[in-house]
Amino acid sequence: MNTAIPRLPEPDWRQVTALPIADNQEELVPASLAQGRLACYPAYYKLGIPNAVPECYVRREVYLRLQAAARSLPEGLTLLVLDSWRPYSVQQYLYDTLYNVIEHHWPSKSDAELEQLTREFVSVPSTDPRAPSPHLTGGSVDVTLVDDNGLMLDMGTLFDEATPASHTAAFEALDRPSPREQEVIEHRRTLYRAMTRAGFTNLPSEWWHYDFGNQLWAWYGGHGRAHYGHTYPESLENRWRKEVDRRIG
């Protein structure tokens, strides 16, 4: 049996965003390059989220560590990337959508309370170079496990399900888990073990969310600074513009 998932505190965002960033300028690479036990399924694009991209981009080191995590899984399992780098507009859409749902359910709550509840599952949209949203850095990944038929394992909740049961260690608190709940516990432990051994840290409110290199990773990992700040995939237009600028210069 895998070791129990520890119950970690929620991030103190003031401390998280106070950590310095020394971006190493590592490029983004498409996770769809992977073969074998690492796969990519851009969930937001498939769901038709406005401006979502049909690819899962990650920093190069993140890609290599995902490969390491996938290789460490038990035979028959594949690591599936559901989301990674995302445009600011997608981050804003996700934040606004969840905020509005929560506000509709609890209209009496203050703006501060609504923001706190929303940030449990979606970070505040930000391209501030000192405090970018984690998914805008290319260092955050949303992942799950699939079996040898390509079907997602039962993780207790759906990806992006905004409920207390989505907290990574939620099922660890059960005194007498049912057979199905025990299976969920094992699945989450398997994912957690593979990802943390590969150097990732987990966001405790989301069993699917892992970080490397960004401010969340630095905070949970006890590192003095982050390696990744706000970034974006290089486009053909940008590449040509840089080449023209070099020639003119």
Instruction: Write out the binding residues.
Output: 135, 142, 209
Sheet holding 209-211, edge to edge: 38-40, 78-83, 140-146, 209-211, 201-202
What's the helix, strand, coil split of the chain in %, to 5? 40, 10, 50
Nearest to 84 by CA among 193, 232, 223: 232
CA atoms of 229 and 186, how far apart (whole Å): 34
The answer to whether the CB of 33 falls within 8 A of the CB of 55 is no
Residue set of the binding site for Zn(2+)? 135, 142, 209
CA atoms of 235 and 41, how far apart (whole Å): 21
The answer to whether the CB of 44 falls within 8 A of the CB of 83 is yes
Residues marked active site are found at 206
User: β-pairing, 78-83 with 38-40?
Assistant: parallel
- In eight-state DSSP terms, residue 27 is P
Give the relative orientation of helices 111-119 and 88-105 as an angle to the nearest 10 degrees.
120
CA atoms of 5 and 186, how far apart (whole Å): 10
Q: Which helix (H) or strand (E) holds 241?
A: helix 236-248
